[in-house]
Amino acid sequence: MRIAAALQDGAYADEKYQNWRKILTETCRAEVGALNPELVSVRLHRQAVEHYQKPEAFVSLTETDKGTLMKEVAPLISLDDKDEAAKRFDNFVYGLLLCELEGLPGLGRAQKQLRNTAAMLEGKATIPQVQTKLSLIREVQTDEILTSHDLLRFEEMRQELRELIKFLVEGGEGQKPVYTALADPVLEQTEGKALDSGYDFGEYRERVNRYIMEHRSDTLAIHKLTQNIPLSRGDYTELEHIFTCELGSKEDYAREFRDTPFGLLVRKVAKLDHDAAMQAFSKFINDESLNAKQIAFVQKVIHYIEQNGYVESKAVLMKPPFDQPILFTRLFDGKTGSELMDTINSVKENATHVTA
């Protein structure tokens, strides 16, 4: 209800905000109305429960109302939703919104955490439900939306992504996101002094990943890499300047990415365009001499490259999901297998080879 109370401010008098507030208050009133008056716990707070079952109770919420709702009424409500991950995400996003509305100091950390959550979701792009939301997931990782102060966009994002959070806590390799408290104590306050590099809240790796995603179409070198087009010397120089001058230093790059070539790093982050991948393997897709299992294998390779940017080596093709139902080396004859491997390697080489 803190959000509903904050939306009473004149700054949010527009109909779109008041419609949102109406949804929040009516949801709360419905939950209060559904409480069983026969329960002892409810009877102990009967006066508050009966008061907040009335629509007029939410017309103009006071500080007293917020305190009563939080202390007396909220503990009585139990949601039917069994998706604990989604509920934690709801609470997190509402906390972020409160940081925006009330000027709390945890906003920067919440934005960073939201970006990290979206990045983890993007890493689950092979899951159909996640794949359908990839555009939004990528948008959430941009500064444009994170710093937009668009409360309704965040609310829409919460609704769209909440059911995907379970994929970060299920399936083995997913890491459970930890949503921290947002109300940080102010230990020191200094005005008019620029923060030094030690207070850079955007880690170098995150800056690089974000830059790549935000400039997939307007930076020629990055665009070429997503389209499987070899880099020129000028393209390479541009990437080198971006990663080791604009976004950080050579030491930063070496620390985070070791000796990973610039092109392969971009491919890992920006992936390979679907049409470009299909074009690279068109010879095999259109080869009528291949059987259904062979075509299915080629499709697996295409999908893998779309999601990962390239195939590291032939060894990858000997592991799941490529080893079933038949190993690569047994599925194709020597000539076809060699040609397929050459095509796979050429896709990787287009991200590392620099033309004159």
Say yes or no to pLDDT of 200 above 60.
no
pLDDT over 70, % of the chain: 89
Domain count, the chain: 3
Instruction: Report if residue 56 sits inside a domain.
Output: yes
Task: Report d(CA 85, CA 88) in Å as an integer.
Answer: 5
Residues 95 and 65 in one domain: no
Count the alpha carbons within 13 Å of 194 in the hemisphere toward its beta carbon. 2
Instruction: Report if residue 127 sits inside a domain.
Output: yes
Q: Which residue has the higher pLDDT, 105 or 226?
A: 226
Give the range of the structural domain holding residue 343, as residue numbers without chain letter: 217-356
Section 163-188 average pLDDT: 55
Instruction: Report if residue 126 sits inside a domain.
Output: yes
Residues 119 and 69 in one domain: no
Q: Which residue has the higher pLDDT, 188 or 119?
A: 119
The pLDDT, as a whole number, for residue 227 is 94
Residues 34 and 131 in one domain: no
Section 285-311 average pLDDT: 91
Q: Which residue has the higher pLDDT, 196 or 33?
A: 33
Task: Report d(CA 109, CA 122) in Å as an integer.
Answer: 20
CA 55 to chain CA centroid, nearest Å: 37
DSSP letter string, 80-137 = S---HHHHHHHHHHHHHHHHHHHT-TTHHHHHHHHHHHHHHHHTTTTSHHHHTTHHHH
pLDDT class for 177, splitting at 50, 70, 90?
Answer: low
pLDDT over 90, % of the chain: 33
Residues 334 and 249 in one domain: yes
Say yes or no to pLDDT of 191 above 70.
no
Instruction: Report if residue 349 sits inside a domain.
Output: yes
Summary mean pLDDT of the chain = 84
CA 307 to chain CA centroid, nearest Å: 15
Out of 134, 152, 168, a domain closes at: 168
Residues 225 and 340 in one domain: yes
Which whole-number Å values give the CA distances from 73 to 31, 76, 235, 280, in the listed order? 10, 6, 61, 61
| 154: nearest Cα among 86, 94, 83 | 94
CA 193 to chain CA centroid, nearest Å: 33
Residues 61 and 102 in one domain: no
Instruction: Report if residue 189 sits inside a domain.
Output: no
Out of 136, 151, 168, a domain closes at: 168
Say yes or no to pLDDT of 49 above 70.
yes
Say yes or no to pLDDT of 307 above 60.
yes
Count the alpha carbons within 13 Å of 46 in the hemisphere toward its beta carbon. 6
Residues 275 and 350 in one domain: yes
Tens-place pLDDT, residues 129-160: 999 999 999 988 888 787 778 889 989 999 99
Out of 76, 107, 141, a domain closes at: 76
185 preceded by a cis bond (ω within 30 of 0): no
Residues 222 and 356 in one domain: yes
Task: Report d(CA 312, CA 294) in Å as an integer.
Answer: 21
The pLDDT, as a whole number, for residue 107 is 79
Task: Report d(CA 157, CA 344) in Å as an integer.
Answer: 37
The token duo for 290 is 């291949």
Task: Report d(CA 328, CA 318) in Å as an integer.
Answer: 7
Tens-place pLDDT, residues 230-255: 999 999 999 999 999 988 889 889 98
DSSP letter string, 102-116 = HT-TTHHHHHHHHHH
Residues 38 and 138 in one domain: no
Q: Please give the angle made by the CA atoms of 180, 183 and 187, to the nearest 5 degrees.
A: 115
Instruction: Report if residue 145 sits inside a domain.
Output: yes
Task: Report d(CA 102, CA 93) in Å as an integer.
Answer: 14
The pLDDT, as a whole number, for residue 192 is 43
Cβ atoms 113, 179 nearer than 8 A: yes
The pLDDT, as a whole number, for residue 356 is 67
Phi-psi region of 101 (alpha: psi -120 to 50; beta: other; left: phi over 0): alpha
Instruction: Report if residue 178 sits inside a domain.
Output: no
Q: Which residue has the higher pLDDT, 323 or 318?
A: 318
pTM for this one?
0.50
Residues 125 and 150 in one domain: yes
Instruction: Report if residue 210 sits inside a domain.
Output: no
Residues 243 and 307 in one domain: yes
* Most confident listed range (20-24, 27-31, 193-197, 343-347): 343-347
Among the ranges given (80-84, 129-133, 253-257, 346-350), the one the predictor scored with the smallest mean pLDDT: 80-84
Say yes or no to pLDDT of 193 above 70.
no
Section 68-75 average pLDDT: 84
Say yes or no to pLDDT of 229 above 90.
yes
Residues 291 and 272 in one domain: yes
End-to-end CA distance of the chain: 63
Longest Cα–Cα distance of the chain, Å, equals: 82
